[in-house]
Structure 1
Amino acid sequence: MTITATRIRATTPARTLLTCGAAAGPLYFLTTFIQAAVRDGFDLTKHPASILSNGDAGWIQVTNFLVAGVLTIAGAIGLSRVLEPGRGSVWGPRLLGLFGVSLLFAAAFKADAGNGFPVGAGPATLSTTGMLHMAAGSVGFLSLIVATFVFASRYSREGHRGWAVYSRATGIAFFASFAWMSSGNANAVVMLAFWATVMLAWGWVTAVTIRSAR
């Protein structure tokens, strides 16, 4: 009876943290797409989610970054508690936690307005705040990409080939679209591909977290 009670006390907090981590992506995109649908001037083929932090309703996206960051960090802590020692058990959660921290910085340093959003904004310019936002995003995205390969290595070692392939494919696709986006050729195809792979990466985070909770 004592052993059972101890296990419950040990696993319930971790499961709660993992639930937070699993909810981060869906909540982030639900909030983002609602804004994309109702805010004048926003166009998925021209604008990244970060630019929603501007304008009178910009506080919504800022809050969205903050909440997603806190939930992601919580999920990373939960993963660090439930993963058995082995390949990726330390750096996998740490990299996801760093991604969560980058979201907090993305909230603190807003992306620059421009390219027609908010309505009336001229061509995009790069301010110090905008540069810090881009730096935070780059660190966060690269941390998430590396995390996919760290977990892929762990899954391969454990014999979970499907999860290993899923993780590597996610990392490769996300890296390719991120590099394409960073090249400066952000046409409609590039932007939509970037949106799709960001969703893919967040979905991977949710899937890995749910798997670990089970």
Structure 2
Amino acid sequence: MTIAATRTPVALSARAWLACGAASGPLYFLTTLTQAAVRDGFDVTKHPASLLSNGDAGNANAVVMLAFWATVMLAWGWVTAVIFRSARTTRGEFPS
């Protein structure tokens, strides 16, 4: 008796993955500037953005940083998968 494994593909389109990667940079930049403007005593010209992780509101910056890197890694993982899949195709087509 053979058991056939069935998968339900849950995949985002190529544009969705690339949009996540493209949107993550400006989103991180804007949220960091917003947090810097709200934080008392923080000067963008003197302090690095990583100092926003300190203090009472540090959790907000940590969440934003994690979301940024998660979207970058997801987009990079998709690009890597496409490169490996396209290397295996015989006609060199770009798989969707």
Same fold (TM > 0.5): yes
- Answering whether residue 38 of structure 2 is matched by residue 38 of structure 1, we say yes
Q: How many residues align?
A: 76
Partner of 2:49: 49
Between Structure 1 and Structure 2, the one with more helix by share is 1
Higher relative contact order (CA 8 A, sep 6+): 2
Cα drift, residue 15 of structure 1? 2.6
Structure 1 segment 1-214 matched on structure 2, within 5 A: 12-83=12-83, 84-85=86-87
Query: Once superposed, which parts of structure 1, at least 4 consecutive aligned residues long, lie more than 6 Å away?
Result: none
1:83-124 deviations in Å (ceiling 9; x for gaps): 454xxxxxxxxxxxxxxxxxxxxxxxxxxxxxxxxxxxxxxx
- Distance in 1 (alpha carbons) for counterparts of 2:12 and 2:61: 31
1:81, distance to aligned residue in structure 2 (A): 3.2
5+ long unaligned stretches in structure 2? 1-8, 88-96
Aligned-pair RMSD on alpha carbons?
A: 1.9
- Whichever residue aligns with residue 74 of structure 1, its letter is L
* 1:36-90 Cα distance to aligned partner (Å, 9 max, x none): 11110111121111000011111111011110010000110121133454xxxxx
Question: Conserved in 2, the CA contact under 8 Å of 1:17 and 1:75?
Answer: yes
Q: Which runs of 5+ in 1 are unaligned?
A: 1-8, 86-214
